[in-house]
Amino acid sequence: MIRTQTKGRAVVRLLALLVVLPLVLSACGKSIGERIDDATITARVKTALLNDPQVAGLNIDVDTSLGVVTLSGVVKSQPEAQRAVQLAGGIPGVRNVRSTLQVSP
17 and 42, same domain (yes or no): no
For the whole model, what pTM was predicted?
Answer: 0.68
Give per-residue pLDDT as tens, 64-83: 999 999 999 999 999 999 99
Q: Residue 55's CB: how many other CB atoms inside 10 A? A: 22
2 and 20, same domain (yes or no): yes
71 and 20, same domain (yes or no): no
Give per-residue pLDDT as tens, 12-47: 676 555 555 554 555 555 566 656 699 999 999 999
Domain residues for the domain of 56 are 31-103
47 and 21, same domain (yes or no): no
